[in-house]
Amino acid sequence: MITDLVPDELWARVEPVLPPRSVRRQRFPGRLPVDDRAALAGIVFVLKTGITWQQLPREVFGCSGITCWRRLREWTDAEVFDIVHEILLDHLRALDVLELETAVVDGSHVRALKGATLSGPSPVDRGRPGSKHHLITDGTGIPLAVTLTGGNVHDSTQLFPLMDQLPVIRGKRGNPFTRPRWLFADRGYDSDPHRARLRNRGIIPKIARRNTKHGSGLGKHRWVVERGFAWLHQYKRLRTRYERRADIHYSLLKLACVLICHRTLTTSF
Summarize pLDDT for 105-125 with one digit per residue, the tens.
Answer: 999 999 998 878 889 888 888
pLDDT tens for each residue of 204-235:
999 988 877 665 556 677 899 999 999 999 99
pLDDT at residue number 48: 97
Q: How many Cβ atoms sit within 10 Å of the Cβ of residue 78?
A: 13
Residue 43 amino acid letter: I
Q: How far apart are CA 48 and CA 50, in angstroms?
A: 6
Provide the 8-state DSSP code for 214.
S
The residue among 33 and 254 whose pLDDT is bigger is: 254
- Helical (H) or strand (E) element with 121: strand 120-121
pLDDT at 199: 97
**Contact residues for 101 (Cβ-Cβ < 8 A; gap 6+):** 139, 180, 181, 182
The region, left, alpha or beta by phi > 0 then psi within -120 to 50, assigned to residue 174 is left
Choose among 225, 154, 141, 224: nearest CA to 194: 154
Predicted local distance difference test score (pLDDT) of residue 216: 58
**Distance of alpha carbon 253 from alpha carbon 76, whole angstroms:** 11
* N residues, the chain: 269
User: Which residues are bridge partners to 182 per DSSP?
Assistant: 102, 204
Reported as type and span, the H/E element at residue 42 is helix 36-49
Residue type, 92: L
Residue 256 has pLDDT above 80, yes or no: yes
What's at 169, amino acid-wise? I
The amino acid sitting at 203 is I
Q: Work out the pLDDT band at 161, boundaries 50, 70, 90.
A: very high
Q: What is the DSSP letter of 169?
A: B
Q: Which amino acid is at 172?
A: K
3-state helix, strand, coil in the chain (%, to 5): 45, 15, 40
Confidence of residue 3 (pLDDT cuts 50, 70, 90): confident
pLDDT of 80 strictly over 60: yes
- pLDDT reported for residue 218: 65
Q: What pLDDT is stored for residue 26 in this prediction?
A: 61
Mean pLDDT across the stretch 242-264?
96
Q: What is the pLDDT of residue 1?
A: 77
Pairing state between β 182-185 and 143-150: unpaired
DSSP secondary structure code for residue 235 in this structure: S
